[in-house]
Structure formats: C-alpha cells, structure tokens
Amino acid sequence: MRVLCLGLDGAGKTSIAQSACSDGGASPGEPPEPTSGFNTSTVKFAPNWKLQLWDIGGGASIRQYWTRYITGDEEAIVWVVDSADEARLDESRQGARPVAVLLPPCLAR
Ligand SMILES: Nc1nc2c(ncn2[C@@H]2O[C@H](COP(=O)(O)OP(=O)(O)OP(=O)(O)O)[C@@H](O)[C@H]2O)c(=O)[nH]1
Ligand SMILES: [Mg+2]
C-alpha cells in the first residue's frame, strides 16, 4: 500500500515519517535534514499489513516535481500542514492546488 506525504518544506513530513517508521531512521532527538528528493519507509501495523510511506521534499525548487509522484497507484495522499506556522498557511493551500487537480473529483474538494 503506497501513501504519499506532501506539503511545504519544514511542515514536518520527515518528522512524521521517522516517528511512524518501523525500519530505521534518524536518531531520536536529531532534527531531520531538508529532503532534497524523497525518502521511502515501511510502516508495519500488523503482520500482513504494511504501507510504504513516500516522504517527498517540499522545498520551493522541487515542488514542480510533486505531481510526478502521483501515479494512480497510491492509496492515499497525506498533505502535511504546520498549523502553528500561520504565515505559510496560504502558501500551503496554493501548493496543494496542482496536486488536488489530479485527484478524482470526489476527493479534490
Ligand atoms: N512542523 C512541525 N515541525 C516540528 C514539530 N515538532 C518538531 N518539529 C521540527 O520541525 C522541523 C520539521 O522538519 P522536517 O520534518 O524535516 O520537515 P519536512 O516537511 O520534511 O521538510 P522538507 O524535507 O524540507 O520538505 C524539524 O526540525 C522538527 O524537529 C511539529 O509538531 N511540527
Ligand atoms: Mg523532509
């Protein structure tokens, strides 16, 4: 099961992935480096149930590539927002538009 994790740089995608990850990651307490491409990690919830989490970098120069990761075989797209960073809420909303237009109409509201 493939799940994409998208959002602005510094929103907390890698922090979430490292918290949920069951196959390694950075040492506890070590802040993650900005993601320049993408990272994948496997999250196991049950013996026969796992998801592959795609943590995709959100820097301004690489946002143009976000839509390339949407291939139609993902089960979910998680849009990560740092709700404490009110100054960037509109930037986050604008950033989500090119992603939202690729979703089925019932999801892209
Ligand atoms: N947004 C957010 N950041 C947190 C939180 N708690 C800690 N942080 C810190 O905020 C920073 C978030 O950075 P990342 O997880 O690398 O963010 P990212 O979305 O992966 O950023 P890019 O890789 O640049 O796209 C880290 O230094 C975290 O340690 C939280 O609750 N929300
Ligand atoms: Mg990251």
State the distance from the centre of ligand 1 to the C-alpha of 105, rounded, in angstroms. Answer: 30
Query: In this structure, are residues 9 and 56 in contact, taking their beta carbons and an 8 Å threshold?
Result: no
- Please name each of the domains of the chain with its CATH number: 2-100 (3.40.50.300)
Structure tokens at 51: 């998801």
Q: State the alpha helices, DSSP H only, in the chain.
A: 13-20, 89-100
Residue 77: how many CB atoms within 10 A of its CB? 21
- Testing ligand 1's pocket by substitution, the residue of 6, 8, 15, 66 carrying the most ligand atoms inside 8 A of its CB is 15
- This prediction has a pTM of 0.87
The DSSP 8-state label assigned to residue 13 in this structure reads: H
Which pLDDT belongs to residue 22?
A: 53
Q: Would the CB of 14 count as within 6 Å of ligand 1?
A: yes
Asked if residue 13 has its Cβ within 6 Å of ligand 1, the reply is yes
Residue pair 53/60 in contact (Cβ under 8 Å)? The answer is: no
Residue closest by Cα to atom 2 of ligand 1: 12
Predicted local distance difference test score (pLDDT) of residue 46: 83
Contact of 42 with 20, CB cutoff 8 Å: no
Local confidence band at 107 (pLDDT 50, 70, 90 cut-offs):
low
- Condensed to tens digits (0 to 9), the pLDDT of residues 47-96 reads 888 899 999 999 999 999 999 999 988 999 999 999 999 999 999 999 99
